[in-house]
A and B are shown apart, each in its own frame.
Chain A
């Protein structure tokens, strides 16, 4: 028996720094584990110094399906009175801050064992009534739609969002969850008559074993978010192609229009 939590990350702007250093604040093309853990922690009201709870959240397995690829944009940003590492030499600094515009992700977390399942249920409850505001990478980048369905998964007609909790393994959720692209979105139609050649698959990145031959490494497994003591371990993930099936495009009893 597995328990997984499917969330919708949709916002006009999102930023998921993975290797940012100094004046170069980059973004990954999909949410990072530290970013997702941060969102859950904010929802549950876990303070950044509570390293124990943060590491417990980071142990959940993560899979992200890219339902709409974002465009990378760069902000021209200046910060004044920035001191050097010795607290001296205040000067104005220009930084490059990247963000993703117009991206939509299906973020799925999977729990293993009773402890993790209880944690995931608490996270879900937190997301329904967040303790602190939720945002995607920067405080101004607020979600565009609820992360979770308000009602039963079967009825996504009015407001498609993430399924929320389900008794399915992570991979099954990634393969079957309805596409989060809105029915009338221009991204969806693509000028291709329906039924003509199969749509191109969705990219997904999923936690995997470090020994997997397709494993990539990213240093975004949070160990501590404490002020002055932010630490990350490396995480291995791999990229999969998820076929975009008609069942995902037109779920339930919807007939093709």
Chain B
């Protein structure tokens, strides 16, 4: 697995256009990977996940992938520094049962709205709408943890050790359809309960809108109170 850190030039017109249209950003990221498998989506095939992080005076584009990316495909002037591509393995090795790990995740927490009168679970999956309440967003993450083999440790205040912060809404257009996503950034700690499930979740991403800058979990050593 590869992890690329790309320092973006915020004055690049191509970057600005991608920033304004999340579908274009997805296409720019995918331009680094070859088109191969027709059955799965190209993104899932490459295991590509990305996230745009604010960084000092600009942005860093983090891209995780199974295939080695060819960043020479980016438009001229897109980056201010050469791409920094490294292995994801050291981060995956952090995952050990019971070990506290710090993480950052930009995700798209949603809840389903079912048509009035319908019994939930009987008529499809319901219409997903953004989950906007911070407490519900943490609840969403805790539920994802149950599915993907991690728990959120409790801090001294008795609350989950995670801070949800709203991110600017993403908009895009794909084949005439409008994409709107309201991502949330989670910073905090997690404790693995099922190492294999968590590894799989880190590789595949969690939640909706994985093509659109959501779902990439970055891991690091736990931050201890000093």
Contacts and interface: CB of A to CB of B under 8 A. Distances in A.
Interface of A: 24, 26, 29, 66, 68-69, 71-72, 74, 96, 98, 102, 185-192, 199-200, 203, 214, 216, 239
Nearest to A181: B13
B45 to A, nearest CB: 26
Interface in B145-173: 166, 168-169, 171, 173
Interface in B17-43: 17, 19-21
The 5 closest A-B pairs by CB, nearest first: A191-B77, A191-B76, A72-B168, A69-B20, A69-B16
B21 to A, nearest CB: 8
B12 interface: yes
A118 to B, nearest CB: 36
Nearest to B17: A200
B14 interface: yes
Interface of B: 10-14, 16-17, 19-21, 75-78, 166, 168-169, 171, 173, 176, 178
B169 A200 contact: no
Nearest to B78: A191
Contacts of B169: 26
A191 B12 CA distance: 8
Contacts of B14: 190, 200
A186 B10 CA distance: 10
Contacts of B12: 187, 190-191
Contacts of A96: 166
Contacts of A188: 13
A185 B176 CA distance: 32
A71 B169 CA distance: 12
Contacts, number: 52
9 contacts: A74-B166, A185-B11, A186-B11, A189-B77, A190-B12, A190-B77, A191-B75, A199-B13, A200-B13
Contacts of A187: 11-13, 16
Contacts of B20: 29, 66, 69, 203
A191 to B, nearest CB: 3
A68 B12 CA distance: 10
B74 to A, nearest CB: 10
Contacts of B21: 203
Contacts of B171: 29
Nearest to A199: B13
Nearest to B168: A72
B76 A71 contact: no
B171 to A, nearest CB: 7
Contact of A214 (B10, B19, B166, B176): B176
Nearest to A68: B16
Nearest to B176: A214
Contacts of B77: 189-192
A239 B173 contact: yes
B183 to A, nearest CB: 12
Given A188-B13, A190-B13, A192-B77, A69 B19 contact: yes
A68 B11 CA distance: 10
Contacts of A69: 16-17, 19-20
A190 B19 contact: no
Contact of B76 (A185, A190, A199, A216): A190
B75 A190 contact: yes
Contacts of A216: 178
Contacts of A192: 75-77
Contacts of B166: 24, 74, 96
Contacts of B10: 71, 102
Contacts of A66: 20
A187 B14 CA distance: 9
Contacts of A29: 20, 171
Given A190-B12, A190-B76, A192-B77, A98 B168 contact: yes
A68 B19 CA distance: 11
Contacts of A68: 13, 16
A24 B184 CA distance: 14
Contacts of B17: 69, 200, 203
Contacts of A190: 12-14, 75-77
Nearest to B178: A216
Given A189-B77, A203-B21, 8 more contacts: A66-B20, A68-B13, A74-B166, A74-B168, A190-B13, A191-B77, A203-B17, A216-B178
Contacts of B178: 216
